[in-house]
Amino acid sequence: MLAAGLTLALAASAVQAQLVVLSGRMGERALLVVDGQPYTVAVGQTVAGVKLLGWKGDVAEVERSGRRYPMRVGETPVLLGVAPPRSAGGREIVLSASSGGHFTAGGTINGKQVRFMVDTGATLVSLGKDDADRLGIDLSNARQGSTQTANGQVPVWLVTLNSVRIGDVELSNVGAAVLPQPMPMVLLGNSFLSRMNMKRENDVMRLELR
């Protein structure tokens, strides 16, 4: 069963950096949703610390704190202001902590992009149903279960992910729980972490394949 602090962990993670979605385009203007607040942004304009630099085809390029991020309409939200993961030789992932001490990483599930947050209290990799639908995960034959969260018992679907990849490290057949409510990030739980050796030194976490 997932950790009882699941909902609290999600709420805490959302405030450490800006969660940005490119929801649409109007000519050269971008429709950005920054931490839940919608904005219509012209090229060169800055809103909530996020600047629209321009377009390359259907890809918008935005900037925050000197770092650039590509975004496409309808893609999973991007967490701005968190250092990307590094990998070494396909066996090790090196993550840097955010200002709040959370470790997040971009990666893929079944070849499609997601954003992970390391959660050692979660038994399984955990994601919302909206992400599961986007990733093409079939829930019609999934086992039913439940988990205790800060808001009480929540039903879940139990599935097996074909692949979970961060950097050059990829694991197959990873157990996961799909929750009915949207989640700002996918929780990287122990169905992935238990197959890694974990070391933390101050604000750096190293995950190495066993």
**CATH number, domain containing residue 165:** 2.40.70.10
Residue 37 burial class via C-beta count within 10 angstroms: exposed 0-12, middle 13-18, buried 19 and up = exposed
Q: In terms of pTM, does the model score above 0.85?
A: no
| 55-77 residue pLDDT tens | 998 889 999 888 888 888 876 56
Task: Give the pairing of strands 50-56 and 18-26.
Answer: unpaired
Across residues 162-179, what is the average pLDDT?
Answer: 91
DSSP assignment of 76-108: PPEEETSPPPEEETTTEEEEEB-TTS-BEEEEE
Q: How confident is the model at residue 36 (pLDDT cuts 50, 70, 90)?
A: low
50 against 34, higher pLDDT? 50
Of residues 6 and 94, which shows the higher confidence score? Answer: 94
Rounded to the nearest 5 degrees, what angle is found at the Cα of 95, between the Cα atoms of 168 and 18? 110
- My answer on whether 96 and 70 are in the same domain is no
Q: Look at residue 13 in the predicted model and tell me its pLDDT.
A: 37
Determine what percent of the chain is predicted with pLDDT higher than 90: 46
- Are 40 and 98 in a shared domain? no
116 pLDDT above the threshold of 80: yes
Q: Which of 80, 99, 124 is a domain's end point?
A: 80
Q: Which residues are paired to 146 by β-bridges? A: 155
Give the pLDDT score at 72. 84
Cβ contact 86:93 at 8 Å: yes
Instruction: For residue 30, tell me if it sits in a domain.
Output: yes
Domain holding 51, by residue range, is: 18-80
Least reliable range by pLDDT among 80-84, 115-119, 127-131: 80-84
Q: Are residues 196 and 126 in the same domain?
A: yes
Confidence band of 16 (pLDDT split at 50, 70, 90): very low
Number of domains in the chain: 2
Tell me the average pLDDT across 2-29: 58
Higher-pLDDT residue of 51 and 80 is: 51
User: pLDDT tens digits for 71-98?
Assistant: 888 765 666 665 555 544 478 999 988 7
d(CA 99, CA 85): 15
Same-domain pairing of 178 and 107: yes
Q: Reduced to 3 DSSP states, what percent helix, strand and coil does the chain have, rounded to the nearest 5? A: 10, 55, 35
Distance CA 185, CA 126 (A): 9
Residues 57 and 127 in one domain: no
Task: Please report the pLDDT score of residue 144 as a whole number.
Answer: 86
Structure tokens at 57: 């085809």
Q: What are phi and psi of 190, to 5 degrees?
A: -75, -10
Same domain, 106 and 193: yes
* pLDDT value at residue 39: 92
What is the Cα–Cα distance from 109 to 203, expressed in whole angstroms? 26
Which of 70-79, 143-152, 178-187, 189-198 is the least confident region? 70-79
- Residue 175's Cβ-count burial label (10 Å; 0-12, 13-18, 19+) is middle
Which among 148, 145, 172 has a CA at the least distance from the CA of 157? 145
Mean pLDDT, residues 25-41: 88
